Amino acid sequence: MRLLEKMKADKQEKLLQKKLIEAFDVSGIYMEYTSEKYKKRIYPKIHSIKFNENRIEYVFTLLNGQDPKEIKKKEYAFYQVFGRTLKIETDSIKKYTLTVSNRTIPKKFIYDYKKFLPAIEGMKLPIFGGVNLDGEYIVWDMADGKPHLLAAGENGSGKSAGVRQILATLIQFKKSSELHLYLCDPKFTEFHLFGDVEHVQGKIACEMDDIYNNIKAVKKELDDRKRLIGEQEKLTGIEKYNDRYHDKKIPYVLLVIDEFAQLKDKKDSINLIETISAQGRAFGIFLLLATQRAEAQVMNGLIKQNITIRMGFRHADLINSRITNTIGSEKISMEDKGRFILKLDEAMEVQAPLLEEEIAEKLLEPYKRKEEEVKREAITWSFPNCNEIIESNEEKKEQSKPVIKKLTIDDLFGGDK
């Protein structure tokens, strides 16, 4: 605001024009005319500059011969010059509208499922992202063309809290017969509050072996579905199958891995995830991965290629936000927790709702298995509840200890019986 008032005083339009030229300069979006005497830069033609205290809108066209791809490629330069609250849109290959917004997103945005509900109603597998600059709720449907999701950003930027609120929404929105969650938490800190939630399959996996088992269970589910839906039913996807079999619908599956980088040397796990990322979507099996950095050592090319929806929380620098493909996330300040650049179709800035752990815990209470149910399932389930079976067997062993008592010489060869 202050910046704009100053601009107004200083012949706003001229200044604003200069600013856009600066962006063209920085990004190299100009053509150079050289004669013997001088060199001249020719910039895209600026058609109009409209502004009020909230926004500036530029309309410009590229010069003949300028590559429209350059604008996309050099988007970061516009962010560098104007700050991260901007949008570049085009309705043809030459004409562009650049909107720089002066508004700010509220720093805190409190989680409120009831308020969010109308925005996700009717969706199959809704992800509630948060609120954008225009105060609109940003939501998308994993099961409708926006399958796998990657949340990346520095330590403490809000990834795990972001995942927490996404899961809390899904749990309230979908019945446990409609959505199966497999949760992996190699940091041991994030997902314990989802323990015993009906949607969660098996236990919250923290140890690498358990994580591998979880991933294997999801891969097995994928193979079973390929056989059932593809081979047996000759259908092309879970939706068609569920349409045909109303009474035995197949649930969606979401495999969530926090701190994904910790798996980087686990070749077996990575290979399975690769397959899931490539084949899962048609069969209703999706990934939600969170990691501090998304570079190749952590995330191989194929996985990255298949996870196209990105939440870029605060990144250390431009190099990193380029890797995640959320340019602008390097400009998010340390204080802006839960703020991210969302790469959905186009990039936009979003504030995730804050759902504190204690509140989430209360909210999830009605969705937890009752104790008797947990025991019954432990006896009847095969994998993924094998750990509970082991535990319950161990309980039995404990109880039967006095009966199995060790045999003594007297027992074997007769004592005073």
Interacting residue with ligand ADP among 27, 66, 85, 160 (CB under 6 A): 160
Site for Mg ion (CB under 5 A): how many residues?
1
Q: Strands 137-141, 45-51: parallel, antiparallel or unpaired by DSSP?
A: unpaired
Q: Which of 171, 188, 205 is nearest to 383 (CA)?
A: 205
Q: Which two tokens stand for residue 33?
A: 């005319």
Confirm or deny that 153 is annotated as ligand binding. Answer: yes
Q: How far is CA 410 from CA 401, 403, 406, in A?
A: 20, 17, 11
Residue 233 structure tokens: 């039913």
What's the min distance (Å) between Cβ of 188 and Mg ion? 11
For the sheet containing 95-101, what is the strand order?
A: 45-51, 55-61, 95-101, 86-90
Candidates 44-52, 153-161, 193-201, 314-322; binding stretch for Mg ion (CB under 5 A): 153-161
The response to whether 221 counts as a known ligand-binding position is: no
Region from 71-79, 152-160, 214-222, 295-303 binding ligand ADP, contact rule CB under 6 A = 152-160
Verify cis geometry, omega within 30 degrees of 0, for the bond prior to 126.
no
CB 174 within 8 A of CB 154: no
Q: Which stretch binds Mg ion (CB under 5 A): 157-165, 167-175, 275-283, 296-304?
A: 157-165
The reply to whether 80 sits near Mg ion by the rule CB under 5 A is: no
Map residue 58 onto helix, strand or coil. strand
Please select the residue that binds ligand ADP; options are 157, 242, 269, 306, rule is CB under 6 A: 157
Residue 27 annotated in ligand binding: no
375 is in an annotated binding site: no
Given 160, 306, 321, 329, the residue binding Mg ion (CB under 5 A) = 160
User: From the list ligand ADP, Mg ion, none, which binds 155 (C-beta under 5 to 8 Å, kind-based)?
Assistant: ligand ADP
**What CA–CA distance (Å, rounded) separates 116 from 138?**
10
Residue 333 beta carbon to ligand ADP: minimum distance, rounded to whole angstroms: 13
155 is in an annotated binding site: yes
Q: In Å, what is the CA distance from 221 to each residue of 34, 176, 214, 218, 246?
A: 64, 16, 11, 5, 20
Give burial (CB, 10 Å; 0-12/13-18/19+) of 218: buried
Taking the complex as a whole, how short is the minimal distance between the CB of residue 173 and ligand ADP, in angstroms?
19
Cβ atoms of 385 and 378 closer than 8 Å: yes
Q: Angle at Cα 341 formed by Cα 183 and Cα 58, nearest 5°?
A: 160
Site for ligand ADP in 351-370 (CB under 6 A): 352, 354
Residue 157 marked in a binding site: yes
Does position 337 interact with ligand ADP (CB under 6 A)? The reply is yes
Within positions 294 to 323, which residues make up the interface with ligand ADP, using CB under 6 A?
A: 313
DSSP H or E stretch at residue 291: strand 285-291
Token pair recorded at residue 199: 């949607």
Report the SS3 class of residue 46: strand
Taking CB positions, which residue lies at the least distance from ligand ADP? 338
**219: contact with ligand ADP by CB under 6 A:** no
Contact 144, 123 (CB under 8 A): yes
**Residue 338 binds which entry of Mg ion, ligand ADP, none, with Cβ cut-offs from 5 to 8 Å by kind?**
ligand ADP
Indicate the residue type of 126.
P
User: Binding ligand ADP by CB under 6 A: which of 64, 155, 333, 382?
Assistant: 155
Which range touches ligand ADP (CB under 6 A), out of 118-126, 140-148, 151-159, 368-376? 151-159
169 contacts which partner out of Mg ion, ligand ADP, none, CB within 5 to 8 A by kind? Answer: none
126 binds, among Mg ion, ligand ADP, none (CB under 5 to 8 A by kind): none
Read out DSSP for 98-117? EEEE-----S--B--HHHHH
**Site residues (vs ligand ADP, CB under 6 A):** 108, 153, 155-161, 313, 337-338, 352, 354
**Site residues (vs Mg ion, CB under 5 A):** 160
Q: Known binding site for ATP: residues? A: 153-160
